Structure 1
Amino acid sequence: MERLTRSEQPHIKFGMFKIRIPFIHYRFEKPEAIQGIISSMTSLGTIGLSTQILGLPYEVAWSMAIINSILYCLHVFMGDPVVPGWITASITLTTAYLLKFNIGIERIQALTALQIDLGIIFILMGITGIAGKLVNRIPNSIKGGILMGVGISTVISEFSPKGRFESYPISITVGILVACFVMFSEKFDALKVKNKFLFRLGQYGVVPAILVSLIIGIFSKEIGIPSFNFENIIYIMDFQKLIDTVSPFGIGFPSIILFIQGLPMAFMIYIIAFGDFITGENLVLSESKNRTDEYIDFNSNRSNVISGIRNIAMAVISPYIAMCGPLAATLTGSVAQRYKVGKEAMQSIFSGMGTLVWVSAIFICFYPIAQIATPLIPLALSVTLLVQGYLCTKLSMELCDTGVERGLIGLMGGVIAAKGGTWGLVVGFILYFVLIDSKKRRENDSNSSEDYVYEISDKKKTI
């Protein structure tokens, strides 16, 4: 279905949601399909967490990852123009919280209560409209500080003594260099105009970097060669076993005390995830400035509600340590980078995002993918997260106009990385009121919700 110029991609209106069905409301995009296959490998990265922290069998942990990938599709399906992901920065906090409980049913029930608490917070923030108002009213310098904090935290996590770089220094170094060159280099942008191969290579975002890091890892003996067994091709999960092992319908619902105990941690996780709404909006809308053919409706309230639905659905089917976050920054950024090239390259932001998540949800069920992913997961996660760090710091700098604002962003980002989101927000707002002139603050307040306003046609093609 073709949209009218400067209007939204066709959809079915359903309250705050805008339903879009693959092949009907948007087309298939080959480059994003390839990225979806690689993404399905990284989605298997939580299997180790589920087996080690929750004590679950490998097959059950794999089934949990499949359910999570299927729920990724809800965002594009319901009108949210992003690739969603985990709340990665919260994994350490969640793990530490769960270790206070006995392994087994008690620990799984504690995770269930925590994830339901988080889902309720997401939904309440979205339904009441508080989330959208917060995102729109927050000054750009504070948004930049949040983005900088996410970027710095991500880089520190990979290069810390316990980070993945210590185990795979050569592979990760080469991988991140290739990723930055292909995705962000001005020199590469100039070269791909003259070379068809480089042009096609640039369409695949972070995929070439992950494949190169895999090859380098094998030759440098940092990882082993993937082994293949073609006795089975598609993994058919045992849904009844999944329910009996981890679902509250099988092991019993958590007590009220567990829900109360989990509330403070749920609020902390939401604060961490809140930065993703700001990151997602800026990633998508900043790259869409060149695409005046399509109007993108980015609604933080809707994104909150969808994230809440995903968390509650996961909690009652198979509670998930990584939680269900509103954004996978690297994949969203990669799609947005190609989207800005033009309609010939990508029909709609939804055709790119939609193709990626649906393909990822399908291929995560393939045994060969899981076999390749076993040695590849640490490298893919590390390269992906470091690209996210680059994207967040780049966007944070683009949001500020003056040296004072850049200093605020840098200091606030450092505090977030060192002391967490709560401390970072407190320091950021104090600095904002101390450093920014009152007249400038009023201008920021009036303009913060108008950063990406596009003239759109009065007529929109909607079904």
Structure 2
Amino acid sequence: MENRPELAGWRWGPFTFRLPFYHTRLCWSEFLQGLFVSAATGLALIPVMTAFFGLSFEEAVALSMIHAALISSAVIVFGEPYAGGWITPALPLILAFVIGGYEDPASRFQAMTALSLVFAALVLFLGITGLGRRFVIWLPDTLKAGIILGASIAALKRVFVDDAERFLLEQPIATGLACAICLIFTFSIPMQKLKERSRFFFLLGSLGLLPGFLAAAIVGPLVGEVDFDIQWGFLVPPLGDAFAKVSPLVIGWPSQEMLLQSIPLALIAYIILFGDLVTGNEVLRDGLKVRKDEHVDINLNRTHFSLSIRNAIMGVVAPFFPTQGAVWTGVHVIVVQRWKQGPRAMNSLHSGLASYYLMGLPFIFFLLPLLTGLKPLLGVALSLTLVLTGFACAYIAMSIPRDNASRGTVVLIGASLAFFEPWMGLLIGVVATLALVGWDRSPDPIPHDE
């Protein structure tokens, strides 16, 4: 068996630190996408923070900067092979619990701290005991595919049903155009053939989410859906002021009751996170069939440890759950698709991921023209990532089942998880799998690259 190399880095414990520009090369396509698309998506929570959590725009930017730096650390500091992001499907559940259950901003941030710390403890326990990895191995393929499809339906439901007024009805042309362009360039079979024949379309396609995002920025003002108010200069995010309003070290620690109330939501968030990890592994499995020249170390215990550390830091410094997840599916698919094109397109998966997440290094949050320029596009960015996530999850989920009974069961499980409470959806999924398919475990549930 050929022993393929893993990209070098500095080992510390189970983790690998890869210094940008030293261990990883700069991939311009991924860097530009990260600069604009990831920045805009990372800032998308600012309207929520200012409306419900008592922060100014500048203080919300400071919190977003810390969240982005922590997400970037997953790739750069901890050496994870996934594009990091939020546990997005859990967000509406979390906001309903925190905003609906607590009146003042201080108690809402204490509730966010409780959620972050309980989740960090849960994930640390599953990592230390190795139960997280065993859970992934134990899960049958049909239930696994159903969880992925459930994430797909939930993401699309958020854009087209739950938050349609905020997403589609406010900026329908800009949002629709951005989603259409990105879907065509990323997944279209006719476009893949056109990219093979035309260098122009090949280069345009290599920019991933950026062409769609730029199209929305150009067309949006022409149709009256986007109104830019760009301000020049530099913004120094008021980290001290934000820290004084959000950190439990200043406003006080959450009560025991808050911690206990957080346990069910932390478990639900883990179930969703688990679906993200399964999806991320399936995307890597697909890529490793093509890229036989690079070893990618997939270690679920390491992933659990890094998640626990990031959520614990966030809970103390800048609590806003669930912004520290494992996989941003839309971006993960985009980067892996480029990596599959071979060493000339991307020398290493880690180079592509690190280039994308250079946006998480704080310098962009000091650029006032960029912040104010992205402000009217925040909804488009969030819609774009949810639609791409939905499509990517659907095509991965439907590629797993091997017979018609399993395919039908996957759709039933996916719909149950998307429309019912997570516990109810999971219960229906387990019963449906046992009754209709059986416990069809895969002989190789975690992708290996031998």
TM-score by length of 1: 0.91
Does the 8 Å CA contact 2:72/2:360 hold for their aligned counterparts? no
Structure 1: gaps (5+ residues): 456-463
Helix, strand or coil at the partner of 2:370:
helix
Does the 8 Å CA contact 1:74/1:306 hold for their aligned counterparts? no
Residues in 2 aligned to 1:239 and 1:259: alpha-carbon distance in whole angstroms: 26
Letter in 2 for 1:6: R
Letter in 1 for 2:25: R
Alignment of 1:154-303 (within 5 A): 154-160=155-161, 162-163=163-164, 164-224=167-227, 226-230=228-232, 232-233=233-234, 235-303=235-303
Letter in 2 for 1:445: R
Residues in 2 aligned to 1:418 and 1:114: alpha-carbon distance in whole angstroms: 23
Residues in 2 aligned to 1:193 and 1:331: alpha-carbon distance in whole angstroms: 22
Distance 1:400 1:368, change over 3 A: same
Aligned residue in 1 for 2:27: 29
Helix, strand or coil at the partner of 1:6:
coil
Helix, strand or coil at the partner of 2:16:
strand
Following superposition, the deviation at residue 290 of structure 1 comes to 0.4
Aligned residue in 1 for 2:45: 46
Helix, strand or coil at the partner of 2:272:
helix
Residues in 1 aligned to 2:206 and 2:323: alpha-carbon distance in whole angstroms: 30
Does the 8 Å CA contact 1:310/1:324 hold for their aligned counterparts? yes
Aligned residue in 1 for 2:102: 101
Residues in 1 aligned to 2:236 and 2:245: alpha-carbon distance in whole angstroms: 17
Matched, 1:391 2:392: yes
Aligned residue in 2 for 1:419: 420
Does the 8 Å CA contact 1:182/1:205 hold for their aligned counterparts? yes
Aligned residue in 2 for 1:363: 364
Following superposition, the deviation at residue 5 of structure 1 comes to 6.6
Following superposition, the deviation at residue 324 of structure 1 comes to 1.3
Helix, strand or coil at the partner of 1:258:
helix
Residues in 2 aligned to 1:364 and 1:302: alpha-carbon distance in whole angstroms: 29
Residues in 2 aligned to 1:364 and 1:237: alpha-carbon distance in whole angstroms: 7
Distance 1:152 1:363, change over 3 A: same
CA RMSD, Structure 1 to Structure 2 (Å) = 1.8
Letter in 2 for 1:49: V
TM-score by length of 2: 0.94
Letter in 2 for 1:103: D
Letter in 2 for 1:449: P
Following superposition, the deviation at residue 149 of structure 1 comes to 0.4
Question: In percent, how many aligned pairs have the same letter?
Answer: 30
Residues in 2 aligned to 1:373 and 1:129: alpha-carbon distance in whole angstroms: 42
Distance 1:446 1:202, change over 3 A: closer
Letter in 2 for 1:11: G
Letter in 2 for 1:184: F
Following superposition, the deviation at residue 7 of structure 1 comes to 2.1
Aligned residue in 2 for 1:129: 130
Residues in 2 aligned to 1:66 and 1:248: alpha-carbon distance in whole angstroms: 19
Following superposition, the deviation at residue 70 of structure 1 comes to 0.5
Letter in 1 for 2:129: T
Letter in 1 for 2:9: H
Aligned residue in 1 for 2:326: 326
Does the 8 Å CA contact 2:401/2:407 hold for their aligned counterparts? yes
Does the 8 Å CA contact 2:285/2:448 hold for their aligned counterparts? no
Does the 8 Å CA contact 1:46/1:322 hold for their aligned counterparts? no
Helix, strand or coil at the partner of 1:449:
coil
